[in-house]
Amino acid sequence: MDAEDDSDNWLSHGTGVVVRKDGWIVTNAHVILALQKPVVVTPEGKSYPVSKWFADEESDIALIKINAQNMKPATFVRPNPTLKVGEGVVALGTPVSFTLRNSATSGIISGIDRAVDSSYKLIQTDAAINPGNSGGPLVNMHGEVIGINTLKFAAVGIENMGFAIPSDTVNLIVQHFFKYSKVKRASIGVELEESWAAYVGLPTDVPIKVTNVVSAQAKKAGITEGDVLYAINGKPVKTLVDVHEALKSFLPGQQVKLTMQSKGNLVAKMVVLSEAVKPAVKDKSVDADK
């Protein structure tokens, strides 16, 4: 699937992946938000106006709807796949120009669990990801989607550094859209600060520090400013991305155990998760006649 803008001032295009046969397609949030009157063009060349969409800027995932039936959904890799650095992959999409739609570039997985300009961990690849590839699939050698292409580094002296959102994150966000029409993102209810070393990606044992207690649930759990956080439900966290990853499968109202240091003592605190206050979703029904 390719998406274009059919407004008078053509601005952008991108790529998407069919997730349900009744016309639901996943792409990048930054793709759909750049289009005023989005139109989907299928590989067969048929055009459909987008009738509805949801976009989550924090994950850069969007879900769009077209009035089409009997589409062929892509096959996504099984949950929690074991990805290996050096494994062959192919990026599919529409690079640079709409005349180049359905292009494929090959490469390898260059790295996993990358914390790059995202709230969640990404897959790094050297497969060429050019403007217009955003929202397209990164597939393994079995034809399974392992991620959705999202960004690349582009600067003098930098080559072949592209990134994709892993399929488990994609599927989680999509299911939230289907169930809640938004992303119900859970929060511990505190503001956290990571170390400088963690921020730039250096190995560090400096823990994450609580700088402000926001929610009533966190205050009730006894969390105070200056506490440090070591783990969530036994899963070690050293960066803010680690925290987002540890919480992404939870919903507001659920409870987690935090391993913390408070007033010099190592303690376990149970906290009921609140809903993140930052707007996490935009949704829109599109009138194709306007």
Task: Catalogue the active-site residues.
Answer: 30, 60, 134
| Cα 184 to the center of its chain, rounded Å | 14
Region for residue 234 given its phi and psi (left: phi exceeds 0; alpha: psi -120 to 50; beta: otherwise): left
**80: part of which helix (H) or strand (E)?**
none
Instruction: Please answer whether residues 187 and 246 qualify as being in contact, where contact means their C-beta atoms are separated by less than 8 angstroms.
Output: no
Q: Quickly count: other Cβ atoms within 10 Å of residue 27's Cβ.
A: 29
**175: part of which helix (H) or strand (E)?**
helix 167-180
Instruction: Please answer whether residues 185 and 175 qualify as being in contact, where contact means their C-beta atoms are separated by less than 8 angstroms.
Output: no
**CA distances from residue 51 to 6, 37, 38, 274 in whole angstroms, order as listed:** 14, 10, 9, 32
Instruction: Please answer whether residues 15 and 74 qualify as being in contact, where contact means their C-beta atoms are separated by less than 8 angstroms.
Output: no
Distance CA 168, CA 245 (A): 11
Q: Quote the tokens at residue 257.
A: 């155990």
